């Protein structure tokens, strides 16, 4: 049986937990109303995967304009060099471009070593590269399944292995990963894409918590996961939207600006638009059939490409 002292100690611990939870709720409300100040990225070495077009290209331009050294990675060498030249035409010279297939483990480590020798240790890693096809599961080829999984998810492991150790060693750095609203709610024709984005959420949560525990709460390395809805990059060819105001399409430049803002404010999770995250958290406490009814009513998704 528990002694009186042990019971009292447990009650004090429970009270402390309640007080801390209350404090963190109030803190979250406060930071929603009064956002944290943006940290400077001047002089940081920012590596962006998938920088040849879309969000990745706009991220590269955005960070370069803020005084960061930008490293562009993409498998499309020609368009990646166009991003490089566009930034140089802005008068920014601290920009570099490397051809790299993030799905290829050996290539990632090889190019990463080249970056370290020629530029230095990456301090902000943005895992942006991603692809997707709106198809039913049975219509997906085996190659498509493998390709989507390797680029959207496995590539994150290789870049983290390549660049996270130096961040931990210096106790300075930031990892940003692009998931998707489709990584919070599964949808038809996303049987490969959705799981790859769900896994990014799990990976970022796990590695952030692991580093917090291993460092006894002293780690200064930050992690930010972004969940965009519809960004007009051409990835989603046939969007299904009943209420456009709920899922308005973002231009890549708009999305990039919001992502940079989230990273500079050290947000851990943010959806684009912002209100989707609290809405989905609330919806998740409902019965499964209620969730399905709500999703049918909202009518958000994609039509198949095939």
Residue 59: φ, ψ to 5°: -65, -45
Query: Whole-angstrom Cα distance, residue 148 to residue 96?
Result: 26
The CA–CA distances, whole Å, from 284 to 162, 181, 205, 207, 287 equal: 35, 14, 18, 24, 8
Interacting residues of 214 by C-beta distance below 8 A, sequence separation 6+:
none
Contact assessment for residue 68 and residue 46, using Cβ atoms and an 8 Å cutoff = yes
The CA–CA distances, whole Å, from 176 to 124, 126, 127, 180, 249 equal: 8, 5, 6, 13, 21
Contact assessment for residue 84 and residue 93, using Cβ atoms and an 8 Å cutoff = no
Residue 28: φ, ψ to 5°: -65, -40
Catalytic positions are: 193
- C-alpha Rg value of the chain to the nearest Å: 21
Which among 45, 66, 24, 65 is positioned nearest to 121, based on CA atoms?
A: 45
Kind of pairing, strands 239-240 and 301-302? antiparallel
Alpha helices in 89-154 (DSSP H): 105-118, 142-149
């Amino acid at each position: 049986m528990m002694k009186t002292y042990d019971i009292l100690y447990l009650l004090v611990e429970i009270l402390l937990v309640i007080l801390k939870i209350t404090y963190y709720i109030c803190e979250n409300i406060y930071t929603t109303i009064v956002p944290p100040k943006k940290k400077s990225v001047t002089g940081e070495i920012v590596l962006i995967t998938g920088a040849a077009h879309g969000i990745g290209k706009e991220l590269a331009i955005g960070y370069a304009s803020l005084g960061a050294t930008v490293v562009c990675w993409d498998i499309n060498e020609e368009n990646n060099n166009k991003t490089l030249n566009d930034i140089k035409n802005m008068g920014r010279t601290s920009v570099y471009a490397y051809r790299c297939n993030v799905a290829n483990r050996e290539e990632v480590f090889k190019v990463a070593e080249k970056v370290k020798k020629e530029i230095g240790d990456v301090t902000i890693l943005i895992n942006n590269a991603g692809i997707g096809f709106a198809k039913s599961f049975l219509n997906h080829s085996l190659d498509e399944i493998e390709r989507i999984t390797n680029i959207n998810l496995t590539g994150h492991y290789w870049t983290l292995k390549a660049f996270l150790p130096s961040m931990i060693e210096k106790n300075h750095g930031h990892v940003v990963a692009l998931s998707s609203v489709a990584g919070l709610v599964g949808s038809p024709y996303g049987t490969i894409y959705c799981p790859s984005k769900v896994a990014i959420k799990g990976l970022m949560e796990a590695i952030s918590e692991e580093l917090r525990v291993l460092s006894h709460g002293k780690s200064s390395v930050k992690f930010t996961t972004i969940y965009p809805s519809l960004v007009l990059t051409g990835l989603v060819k046939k969007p299904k939207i009943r209420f456009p105001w709920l899922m308005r399409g973002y231009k890549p430049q708009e999305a990039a600006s919001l992502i940079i803002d989230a990273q500079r404010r050290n947000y851990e999770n943010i959806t684009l638009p912002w209100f989707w995250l609290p809405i989905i958290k609330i919806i998740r406490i409902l019965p499964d059939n209620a969730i399905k009814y709500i999703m049918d009513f909202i009518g958000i998704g994609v039509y198949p490409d095939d």
